[in-house]
Amino acid sequence: MKKAIQVVLSVCLLAAAGYFVHQYLNAPVPGDEGKDALWLCTSAGCEREFRTPPAAMVANLKTNPDGAMPCPACGKSLTIRAAECTACMRAVRTIGHGQLPDACPHCKASMHGISVPTPG
């Protein structure tokens, strides 16, 4: 009898976990609601910058668990989320642990005060 209760409980927990994962995958990335995400392809020789609407990212998460968007230019999933320079609007690659360089590598504008995109 005790065993049966344990089985019922674990099934309930699994169902709840599945529900939360489903909710998570369908929820917009916090802070990114309604905003296109900026991506940078890290493939050598490609380095394409591209933007994806939140809906495309959610759809992509279902087929790509790591969340990387395939590059529209080379088709590889060697892409990372990049911050956008508020001065020149180009993609700025993060360095190290989600840190931004002091200045934009494209236009040399100060990068202070620009938020780092959340991974995925």
CB of 85 to Zn ion, least distance (A): 3
Among 106, 110, 118, 119, binds Zn ion (CB under 5 A): 106
| Amino acid letter, residue 96 | G
64: tokens are: 């790509």
For the bound state, the minimum distance from the C-beta of residue 44 to Zn ion, rounded and expressed in Å, comes to 9
Regarding 85 and contact with Zn ion (CB under 5 A), the answer is yes
The angle that helices 2-26 and 54-63 make with each other, rounded to 10 degrees, is 140
Q: Which of 80, 87, 103, 116 binds Zn ion (CB under 5 A)?
A: 87
Take residue 103 and report the two structure tokens written for it.
């200045």
Residue type, 109: A
Nearer to Zn ion, 35 or 48 (CB): 48
80 CB-contact burial (10 Å; exposed 0-12 / middle 13-18 / buried 19+): middle
Does the footprint of Zn ion cover residue 71 (CB under 5 A)?
yes
Query: Which residues ranging from 24 to 53 are in contact with Zn ion (CB under 5 A)?
Result: 41, 43, 46, 48
